[in-house]
């Protein structure tokens, strides 16, 4: 169960990272559309688990690996954006959110 503070910080990081992936770290995403679906912050506020949805799906793994390689650069950019609101910028862990693929698969199965 997340506290109110964890939820607020998660929303702040989600908003800032969404804007960053669109504008500032385009070279990392390599032309793919990356959206931040959920950010979950640990109770000590030291780690943020960032769930990403990547389109097109055929390049998902390639873009995901590139984002993981540049995690420190992304964290630095996040620190420049949210540094005034957060005392400590949490470490970032990235995960692929495949819930949209799962929903699409169920829809496709129901169509048959």
* The two three-digit tokens of residue 7, written as one number: 């939820």
pTM of the model: 0.85
The H-assigned helical ranges of 51-97 are 60-69, 71-82
Helices 71-82 + 60-69 axis angle, to 10: 70
pLDDT in tens, 28-58: 887 888 999 999 999 999 999 999 998 887 8
Domains recognised in the chain with CATH numbers? 4-111 (3.30.300.20)
CA distance 29 to 55: 10
């Amino acid at each position: 169960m997340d506290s109110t503070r964890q939820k607020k910080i998660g929303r702040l990081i989600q908003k800032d990272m969404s804007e960053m992936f669109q504008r500032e770290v385009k070279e990392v995403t390599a032309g793919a559309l990356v959206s931040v679906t959920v950010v979950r912050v640990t109770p000590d506020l030291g780690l943020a688990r960032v769930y990403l949805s990547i389109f097109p799906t055929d390049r998902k793994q390639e873009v995901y690996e590139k984002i993981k390689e540049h995690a420190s650069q992304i964290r630095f950019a996040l620190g420049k954006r949210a540094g005034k609101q957060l005392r400590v910028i949490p470490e970032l862990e990235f995960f692929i959110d495949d819930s949209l693929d799962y929903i699409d698969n169920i829809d496709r199965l129901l169509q048959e």
